[in-house]
Structure 1
Amino acid sequence: MLSLLLMGTSCKQQEKEPPKPNILWIIADDLGTDLACYGTPLVKTPNLDKLAAEGTRFTNLFTICAVCSPSRSALVTGMYPVSINCHQHRTHFKKPLPDGIKPVTVYFREAGYFVCNGSVTDLNRPGKQDYNFIADSNMYDGTEWTLRKPGQPFFAQVQIFGPHREFQRDHQNPVNADSIKLPPYYPDHSLARQDWALYLENIQLVDRQVGEILKRLDDDGLTDSTVIFFFGDQGRPHVRAKQFLYDGGIRTPLIIKWPGHIDRESVDTRLISNIDLPITSMVLAGIEPPDYIQGIDFLRTADPIRNAIYAMRDRRDETVDRIRCVRTENYKYIRNFYPDRPYSQFNAYKKHQYPVLTLMQVLYKRGELDTIQARFMASERPAEELYDVINDPFEINNLAGNENYADILEEMRGMLDEWLEEYDKGEYPENPEEIAYWEKTMKENFKERMASRGLSSDISDEEFLDYWNRHLTPTVKENQ
């Protein structure tokens, strides 16, 4: 369990105010819990494994949304996106945050912190923000911690693009696609295994970038005075993961290290939401959080802080949808507000970036998917889904119609209803002009993206699959 030694300071120590710790968020983009230290075979993540060995590894961090902009809007405010009208992805006609709501960077700055946000590939370049609200131009003081005043504590974010698509190759440690074991909801096809292998290779590239950040921190003599958080903004960039509320889409790693204060080689299994990260960081910095923040500090106690986490999906670019879920330690309940729409309704981003989507669409037409795989390609979906996440971690056996689980279904319906009533203040239906803008924008974007590949946007699924089979080349099997 987690123990914060800072809570047990002696009276003599309290006579002098301890220096404020630096807070460092290292944020990967589209990262599931597919690290070696989380038990994933084939992938090599020595830097993150070392970080976990020197700190605490959390196994149940869930993001509010399984896509960037609402998740990051939540992360920088400590608020559910539906409570601040930041739940769509993305928003063209942006508005300021509601009255009284401020980014957490404001509170850190008021407490004397230097606040910065940089890109791992070039710390002179601002890091990804992607917020669904109008942000002040001075939201950050700079891009890296070396720009602060002497002795000034910092709250820094370093953004890592990977393993977001498009995937890059790891030629140092290629992953053998033939050794990949896919989740049962994907077809055991060479293209699908190759795509997954490339995902793992990109995690390895992320690991190296994390190593570079940690080395720089150490070279600057800041390791012992810095609380390091490593996590992802959402889960895997795969067909039945990103954008959706299965664990593959909303579960991400969390590793925290603070030498002398946080237990080494510890594992924490409590349910945590990514809106809990801002308030926890503020408390570590000695900042009194505002009352409106909806997250919960999880480092002042080793006891459970939540009996459930909640997650949401709404429009993703041009694709209109609305899904909500509640997840406890044992069960997940999903409510689909548009059961007449397919899970795989057209989304330009996913269509041009996810080869397995086209593969599954072709195999579905041919009748070559099994029952589990075909479910995700069907023309409609159930209004409710209930999963035993302990015995069914892939979430493939829907128990919503099982009489033996009627009491659990009713209980979780009630939990979600209460949450919707208290927190879900989003605008429904959305402004038609916003939807029309994204339909037009993504149509043009899809056409341009396909043209860059020498393809027509009207290409058939069969032709597009042929393209992927020719261009997604097998990984090199050397050094395996």
Structure 2
Amino acid sequence: MKKYLFFHISILTIIISSCTCYAQEKKKTKPNIIFISVDDLRPTLGVYGDTIAVTPNIDQLAAEGMTFRQTFSQVAVCAPSRASLMTGLRPDSTRVWHLGDKFREINPNTVTMPQYFSKFGYKTVNLGKIFHNYMPDSVSWDEPDLRPSKYLKKDWLNRDGETFYISEEVNNSQAVKRDSLLKLRPIRYADGWNTGPAWEAADVHDTIYYDGAQTELAKKTLSRLAKTETPFYMGLGYFRPHLPFTAPKKYWDLYDAQKIPLAANPNVPQNAPGHTMNSMYELRHYDGFNDIGHPQSDFKMNEERSRKLKHGYYASVSYVDALVGNLVAHLKEIGLYDNTVIILWGDHGWKLGDHNSWGKMTNYNIDLQVPMIIRYPNQENRGAQTFEITELVDMFPSLCEIAGIEVPNYMQGTSFLPLIKDPKRSWKSAAFSQFHRRPKVSADGNRYMGYSINTKEYHYIEWYTWNTKTGTRGELTGKELYDRKNDPNETVNIIAEHKLTEVKASLAKKLEAGWRKAKPNLIK
């Protein structure tokens, strides 16, 4: 009887153990997700062929994943770009067209990517800039706005991580300027803290600047999440290389400023309409740059300042690269790496003297093309690259498919998983972007909306007058056409060339037909 009882208890134990293991295995089938935003990051990375950039850690991530070489932002400025990719909808659907538009106010019922993942059992955590500053959007996250403890001061709650310096002299100056600015207008970008020099190279540990302190908090948070069986979605938004270019001195020391090449396309494109360029008001806020003119004027940045700015951008990129490497090493150390999706992306590009400008906010490809790199469990073709066209709006459906959860039927992007399995397969025929040019920053003082379509061969743009109240376009005011193969730096607008009549007509038709007609054929 005892033998019989022992036998049944043993069998029962095995069954219970098997069920427990199966349950744990089921929980583990959903991979964790680390969604890494790098603000203002153009493809200034070694893996994208930049021979100057020192980015070994991001390059290594790419070697273990997939690099998308032709990814386009839907809008070359933070708020609209992020609203689009975080909802899976394009700008004319989100109706977020410029920095001041807030998607949660425009449509309170919007479901963002972390909100959607939460429905499928994910714990969602946010550090840094994922939505536009400063908008942590508490609706989207279980833990919406984790910050390093030393930055939790009351006066800093609406301050962006990009605005902190090491210099006490600068800090004091910022506080004085902020008081004056808030008296003039109480609601301001970055809560009035976005003043000071355009760069800083303090000889300090990585953790002394905000992004480094934030990475340490991310590591602690990951260690905490590793102790649970719940899959997580972590949004980790780095502020550099956004202005000001503040990074530890050792990252500046990686470069010789005299060996960093200046822009290959230093002029506004020939034959460009008068409203294509932004005014560079972002850079004008920083010390020593209030004199700069509009790119479509006679203004020219001198070589000394150009080299300093470009040096600072590269140093900032290398700083973030080191922090990403630190984060990945920690994931491996605590045993999370193998079951974690890591996707790293830039929200738009940034001109470093290109088109006589510094900043973003145009429809040119120097502002639209961005890096996008993904690494995930059981991935095929590790280390591969694809030159097929993808868009940031594709990330939402792609991550759903990787996680094994239902893709919302309203997505306006396309999952790129088939492209990872076959990087050379035929994919999207075009990418679609747009930009709202406001009167106060356009060269002629008028308001426009520019619609852009990129194919592998050409980049075509149409500009219209724009009714900001109704969100509708009016009169066609200008066109641009660039040969992507023979003029990749977009130096000459060739819209007037008669031999391209059929090309122009075809592109205009494709632009009007929109993104739905450019989707890939998924049957192969």
Cα–Cα, structure 1 residues 93 and 215, in superposed 2: closer, same or farther, change >3 Å? closer
Residue aligned with 2:62, SS: helix
Residue ranges of structure 1 left out of the alignment (5+ in a row): 1-12, 120-126, 340-380, 424-480
Distance 1:400 1:308 in 2: 19
Distance 1:271 1:116 in 2: 30
Which residue of 2 is the match for residue 35 of structure 1? 45
2:257 to 177, 197, 210: 177
Shift of 1:153: 0.7
| 2:491 maps to 1:396 | yes
1:269 to 359, 381, 387: 387
Cα–Cα, structure 1 residues 44 and 93, in superposed 2: closer, same or farther, change >3 Å? closer
> Do 1:90 and 1:317's aligned partners in 2 also have CA atoms closer than 8 Å?
no
Which residue of 1 is the match for residue 450 of structure 2? 323
Question: Under a length normalisation based on structure 2, what TM-score does the superposition of the two structures give?
Answer: 0.63
| 2:393 maps to 1:313 | no
Question: Under a length normalisation based on structure 1, what TM-score does the superposition of the two structures give?
Answer: 0.69
| 2:184 maps to 1:104 | no
| 2:491 maps to 1:411 | no
Cα–Cα, structure 1 residues 389 and 161, in superposed 2: closer, same or farther, change >3 Å? same
> Do 2:130 and 2:235's aligned partners in 1 also have CA atoms closer than 8 Å?
no
Distance 1:38 1:170 in 2: 24
Distance 2:439 2:496 in 1: 32
Q: Which amino acid aligns with 2:127?
A: G
- Pick the structure with greater CA Rg: 2
Distance 2:44 2:350 in 1: 9
1:151 to 200, 217, 229: 229
Cα–Cα, structure 1 residues 25 and 237, in superposed 2: closer, same or farther, change >3 Å? farther
Distance 1:412 1:98 in 2: 36
> Do 2:83 and 2:103's aligned partners in 1 also have CA atoms closer than 8 Å?
no
Which residue of 1 is the match for residue 132 of structure 2? 130
> Cα deviation per residue 1:89-117 (whole Å; 9 max; x = unaligned)?
22269624276x41122221111011111
> Do 1:183 and 1:394's aligned partners in 2 also have CA atoms closer than 8 Å?
no
Residue identity over aligned pairs, in percent, reads: 29
> Do 2:248 and 2:319's aligned partners in 1 also have CA atoms closer than 8 Å?
yes
Distance 1:420 1:104 in 2: 21
Which residue of 2 is the match for residue 243 of structure 1? 361
> Cα deviation per residue 1:131-161 (whole Å; 9 max; x = unaligned)?
89x9863310124445547111111111100
Cα–Cα, structure 1 residues 382 and 388, in superposed 2: closer, same or farther, change >3 Å? farther
2:343 to 204, 224, 229: 229
> Do 1:170 and 1:204's aligned partners in 2 also have CA atoms closer than 8 Å?
no
Distance 1:220 1:246 in 2: 42
Cα–Cα, structure 1 residues 277 and 209, in superposed 2: closer, same or farther, change >3 Å? same
Q: Which amino acid aligns with 1:109?
A: S
Shift of 1:265: 1.9
Residue aligned with 2:418, SS: coil
Cα–Cα, structure 1 residues 220 and 182, in superposed 2: closer, same or farther, change >3 Å? same
Distance 1:334 1:193 in 2: 31
> Do 1:90 and 1:316's aligned partners in 2 also have CA atoms closer than 8 Å?
no
Cα–Cα, structure 1 residues 136 and 165, in superposed 2: closer, same or farther, change >3 Å? closer
Q: Which amino acid aligns with 1:85?
A: R
Shift of 1:382: 7.8
Q: Which amino acid aligns with 1:329?
A: K
> Do 1:313 and 1:323's aligned partners in 2 also have CA atoms closer than 8 Å?
yes
Residue aligned with 1:27, SS: strand
State which drifts further: 23-32 or 259-268.
259-268
Distance 2:113 2:496 in 1: 43
Q: Which amino acid aligns with 2:389?
A: L
Distance 1:32 1:231 in 2: 9
Q: Which amino acid aligns with 1:224?
A: D
- The structure richer in helix per residue is 2
Cα–Cα, structure 1 residues 318 and 95, in superposed 2: closer, same or farther, change >3 Å? farther
Residue aligned with 1:414, SS: helix
Distance 1:222 1:422 in 2: 40
Which residue of 1 is the match for residue 287 of structure 2? none
> Do 1:167 and 1:202's aligned partners in 2 also have CA atoms closer than 8 Å?
yes
> Do 1:30 and 1:235's aligned partners in 2 also have CA atoms closer than 8 Å?
yes
Residue aligned with 2:124, SS: strand
| 2:61 maps to 1:46 | no
State which drifts further: 102-111 or 411-420.
411-420
Cα–Cα, structure 1 residues 97 and 184, in superposed 2: closer, same or farther, change >3 Å? same
Which residue of 2 is the match for residue 204 of structure 1? 318
| 2:461 maps to 1:334 | yes
Distance 1:93 1:157 in 2: 18
Q: Which amino acid aligns with 2:321?
A: D
Distance 1:262 1:93 in 2: 36
Cα–Cα, structure 1 residues 34 and 222, in superposed 2: closer, same or farther, change >3 Å? same
2:101 to 77, 81, 91: 91
1:193 to 307, 310, 321: 307
Q: Which amino acid aligns with 2:240?
A: G
Distance 2:81 2:438 in 1: 12
Q: Which amino acid aligns with 2:140?
A: M
Shift of 1:263: 2.0
Distance 2:59 2:265 in 1: 28
Shift of 1:177: 2.2
Distance 2:456 2:331 in 1: 36
> Do 1:106 and 1:139's aligned partners in 2 also have CA atoms closer than 8 Å?
yes
Shift of 1:422: 10
Which residue of 1 is the match for residue 34 of structure 2? 24
Distance 1:291 1:164 in 2: 34
Distance 2:485 2:103 in 1: 42
Which residue of 2 is the match for residue 72 of structure 1? 82
Shift of 1:234: 1.0
Shift of 1:258: 2.2
Cα–Cα, structure 1 residues 151 and 90, in superposed 2: closer, same or farther, change >3 Å? same
Cα–Cα, structure 1 residues 214 and 318, in superposed 2: closer, same or farther, change >3 Å? farther
Distance 2:54 2:411 in 1: 37
Distance 1:283 1:52 in 2: 20
Residue ranges of structure 2 left out of the alignment (5+ in a row): 1-21, 147-220, 267-299, 442-446, 467-475, 519-524
> Do 1:73 and 1:131's aligned partners in 2 also have CA atoms closer than 8 Å?
no
Shift of 1:75: 1.4
Residue aligned with 1:296, SS: coil
Residue aligned with 2:37, SS: strand
Residue aligned with 1:392, SS: coil
Residue aligned with 1:314, SS: strand
Shift of 1:330: 1.1
